[in-house]
Structure 1
Amino acid sequence: MSARLSLRLARAAAFAAVCVLLGVVAHAVAGGAVAGGTAVLGFAVSMAAGLPIAGRERGLRVILPLLAAVQAVLHVIFSTAHEPDPVQILTGHAHVGGLAPGSGMLLMHCWAVVMTAIWLARGEAALWGLLRRLGARLVRLLLAWPAVPGPRPLTGFAEPAVLRTATLHRGISERGPPLSRAR
């Protein structure tokens, strides 16, 4: 099943937003700062990476490597976009040219990429499952529609009979303490 351009753009934008948000938050937690222009550049890069694969349902095997590659590119973009200050040098966030992260940063990037890829793959499966169910219901609705234009006869949709009497089967409640047997 292939998606139309509007759905492809929406899915690529969602992928890009998740990538940039993950990168910006992780960068900020590690002590870095991301300027607005750098975040927009990161969004454009992420969108360009996600658009070619947004045409059909993708699983974890496609999403995980793509997300890892995009996060690596975003890490380089965010790290090289500013000069490190002394606090970043002390916290270990600053590194030469943005290419040599410490083992802790690498571990956190890997963990975040794997968790986000699983989350995106599950969302992907849910989205396509919903679209398949909606498509099946639409087909059933269209097949049930009469082929001849004009007013539809209301067969099988007669109004229910008016209730003349309403009897209460259990009008008297038998709740309460049990009757004593020894009187």
Structure 2
Amino acid sequence: MFLAVFHVDDLQCPVKVLTHLDDINAALGGADIHCADDGAMRGLDRAVLEDDAQLLDAAARVLPGGHACCDVLRMEGPPGYAVASDARAEPEALAGGPVVWHVIRGGGQLVMRIGDTLAVVECGPGEAVGLAAGTRHWFRPAAGQRCIILRTAPVAAALERCPSGSDLAARFPGFGL
């Protein structure tokens, strides 16, 4: 996992790149965003990954703290030969409440808009990112990846993704990190 921070007026060159989890969390802490190693989800049987109900059941057994609500996102990245400008990201949305993104398979970039900066977290299997309510964000699967993401939240409303009304994700879908 690493974090690249860009100013929205210059998405060509990051103003900060961090690779240590403690540094990443310190940089994102002011926005109530946190990253973690999610090793409990790494050892799941491949058969469990193919069925949403089995994955949700396994998550209830292995994730600490018991989460009231969960859902599974399955996303396909662009072909491995695609260039970053050809990539498509989901639209920017507002987190409906506090939610944790657990990357189960594949990887990609979870992009969060924090004031006049974009925080781009490159995450892969066994990593989790917790977002505060109202965080503007989008996810872009890495090229050639089939992503499985488990989102957990204390209430169902937190899993609802409200459109932000911004087209930033469409204008800057990938950073080629």
The structure whose Rg is larger is 1
Whichever structure has more helix as a proportion of its residues is: 1
TM-score (norm 2): 0.23
Ranked by relative contact order (alpha carbons within 8 Å, sequence separation 6 or more), the top structure is 2
TM-score (norm 1): 0.23
Whichever structure has more strand as a proportion of its residues is: 2
